[in-house]
């Protein structure tokens, strides 16, 4: 038995019908958009936070820093806007123009893209 994706009322009629009416279709789609908007908002907030942290800790434009200091501030290493890999194989992660690379397990080098 097919039911409406929004209100779970039994559906009659066309085989490919997913909703009983436009209002069910609209509220279902609004909910989906709202979820993805929340995800986007949270992601953007964390990116902004990451950016603020890098700016704050990298006053000189090039700073060696304990990775744990970034974590303490709430830095999320999963979120960045671009990656740059040098010929020698070093990977820089950027949040806009602020970036970092892992020196070793303990230290990061913070840089700014010119
Ligand atoms: Zn419905």
Separation of 41 CA from ligand 1 center, angstroms? Answer: 29
What does the alpha-carbon distance between residue 87 and residue 84 come to, in Å, rounded to a whole number?
Answer: 10
Give the 3-state DSSP-derived string for 9-27, with helices as H, strands as E and coil as C. CECCCCCCCCCCCHHHHHH
Residues 6+ positions from 56 with CB-CB distance below 8 Å: 73
Tell me which H or E stretch contains 61: none
Separation of 40 CA from ligand 1 center, angstroms? Answer: 28
pTM for the full model?
0.76
Q: Per residue in 1-12, pLDDT tens?
A: 789 999 999 998
Catalogue the long-range contacts made by 85-88 (C-beta closer than 8 Å, 24 or more residues apart): none
User: Which band of pLDDT confidence, cut at 50, 70 and 90, is reported for residue 13?
Assistant: confident
| Backbone phi, psi, residue 23, to 5° | -70, -40
């Amino acid at each position: 038995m097919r039911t409406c994706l929004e209100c779970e009322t039994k559906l009659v009629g066309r085989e490919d019908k997913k909703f009983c009416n436009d209002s069910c279709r609209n509220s279902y789609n609004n909910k989906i958009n709202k979820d993805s908007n929340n995800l986007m908002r949270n992601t953007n907030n964390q990116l902004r936070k990451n950016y603020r942290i890098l700016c704050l800790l990298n006053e000189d434009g090039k700073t060696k820093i304990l990775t744990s200091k970034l974590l303490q501030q709430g830095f999320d290493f999963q979120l960045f806007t671009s990656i740059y890999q040098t010929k020698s194989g070093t990977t820089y992660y950027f949040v806009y123009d602020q970036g970092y690379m892992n020196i070793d397990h303990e230290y990061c080098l913070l840089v700014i893209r010119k």
